[in-house]
Amino acid sequence: MNDFGLLFNTVFSTGLFNEMLRRATPVAIAAIGGALTQHAGIMNIGMDGMILMGAFFGVLGSSIFGSAWAGLGLAVLVGVLVGLFFGLFVVKFKSDEFIIGTALNTFAVGLTSFLSRSIFGTQGAKGYPSLPNVTIPGFDKVPVLGAILNGHSLFVYLTWLLVLLFYLYIYRTPQGFWLRASGEKPQTLRTAGIAPERMKWTASILCGVLCCIAGAHLSLGYLNGTFAEKMSNSRGYIAFACVIFAASNPAKAYLAALMFGFFDAIGLRLQAYISSDLTSIIPYAITIIMMTYVVVSTRKKREKIHRRADI
């Protein structure tokens, strides 16, 4: 009993929630991008590759120019290019988005591993200039909240801004309505005089940029200027699950990412007691539970609509 109490206290500390926020952020930024492509009617399975590219080119920029900001800039530039590449095949050539996304993921692993070994050697990149942490003086004295919220890397906070910004864009601007129409009923938008492809291109490029920012945050903020091969570690797929779970709403996707971060952090803490192979299952088990929830709730929603239509 005493042992359990000790375990409980070690696992459920403020550190857990601090860790949750930390772990949720890269997933959340990518999920905002995924929400955009999902609204545009594109099933974007290539986010993992996009994150990986952002992570590598972020570090590369940081190492070349000696500044994390330059690294972030390079990642954004690569994000535009990756978005254009994705858009070229999916929007322009109308290729199968699943194939293109998978190809992008495989390509990203190959390209970043190759470049990393040629430039940084087999050890990978370590210790290049990283993005700043934000510490508000005095805030760490605030009980609980201070320990959870203070002292994170910059993008942990900027993500809140991004969520708000893209929430407003999607649901409160005319362009957001066009974006959603381009995915739900593209012909409608076309006959209204706006080419749906225009919105699909926009979504692809913004998604590329956001995923690459997520990657740059991962290598330059989360891990302080480090690149390791395959370091995206399926975060792109988790982000995709968040998008589906949130019905492409960036605010809900952020909450979903927090949930992943939470279980991920618990898993990390339990590693002291349980085999890490078992704890690493947790995020994926959560994915399955989430998707089950999505299926059940959409069915209920449809029934509700149907009942209302009856009246």
Partner 1 sequence: MGEIAVQFKHISMEFPGVLANDDITLDIRKGEVFALVGENGAGKSTLMNILYGINTPTNGEVFIRGKKVEHFDPGVAISLGVGMVHQHFMLVPSFTVAQNIVLSREPKKMGVFFDNKGAEKETEKLVKTYGLTVEPSAVVQEISVGLQQRVEILKTLYRGADILILDEPTAVLTPQETDELFAVIRKIVREHGMTVIIITHKLYEVMQISDRVGVMRKGKLVGVENTSDMDERKLASLMVGRPVLYENLDKEDDIGDEQIRVDDLVVGDNRGLVAVDGVSLSVRSGEILGIAAVEGNGQSELLEAITGMRKIESGSVTIRGRQINGMDPGAIRGIGLAHIPEDRISTGVCADASVSDNLLMGKERNPEFNTLGIAQNNAAIRKYASEIYEKFDIRGAGIDVNVGSMSGGNMQKVVVAREFSFDAPVLIISQPTRGVDVGAIEFIHEQIIQQRNEGAAILLSSADLDEVFRLSDRIITLYEGKVTGEFKASEITKEEIGYFMTGKRETEAAHE
Point out which residues bind partner 1 (CB under 8 A): 168, 172-174, 176-178, 180-181, 184-185, 187-194, 299, 302-303, 305-306, 308-310
Least distance from partner 1 to the Cβ atom of residue 194, Å: 5
Least distance from partner 1 to the Cβ atom of residue 178, Å: 7
Least distance from partner 1 to the Cβ atom of residue 207, Å: 21
Please identify, using beta-carbon distances, which residue of 141 and 308 lies nearer to partner 1. 308
Least distance from partner 1 to the Cβ atom of residue 187, Å: 6
* Distance in angstroms (rounded) separating the CA atoms of residues 211 and 299: 31
Sign of the Cα torsion 163, 167, 173, 179 reads positive
The DSSP annotation for the chain comes to -HHHHHHHHHHSSHHHHHHHHHHHHHHHHHHHHHHHHHHTT----THHHHHHHHHHHHHHHHHHHS-HHHHHHHHHHHHHHHHHHHHIIIIIS---HHHHHHHHHHHHHHHHHHHHHHHH-TT-B-S---PPB---TTGGGSTTHHHHHTT-BHHHHHHHHHHHHHHHHHHHSHHHHHHHHHHH-HHHHHHTT--HHHHHHHHHHHHHHHHHHHHHIIIIIITSS-B-TTTTTTHHHHHHHHHHHTTT-HHHHHHHHHHHHHHHHHHHHHTTTS-HHHHTTHHHHHHHHHHHHHHHHHHHHHHHHHHHHH-
Least distance from partner 1 to the Cβ atom of residue 184, Å: 5
Please identify, using beta-carbon distances, which residue of 133 and 173 lies nearer to partner 1. 173
Least distance from partner 1 to the Cβ atom of residue 173, Å: 6
Please identify, using beta-carbon distances, which residue of 9 and 191 lies nearer to partner 1. 191
Please identify, using beta-carbon distances, which residue of 139 and 171 lies nearer to partner 1. 171
Please identify, using beta-carbon distances, which residue of 276 and 292 lies nearer to partner 1. 292
Please identify, using beta-carbon distances, which residue of 147 and 194 lies nearer to partner 1. 194
Least distance from partner 1 to the Cβ atom of residue 244, Å: 16
Please identify, using beta-carbon distances, which residue of 126 and 302 lies nearer to partner 1. 302
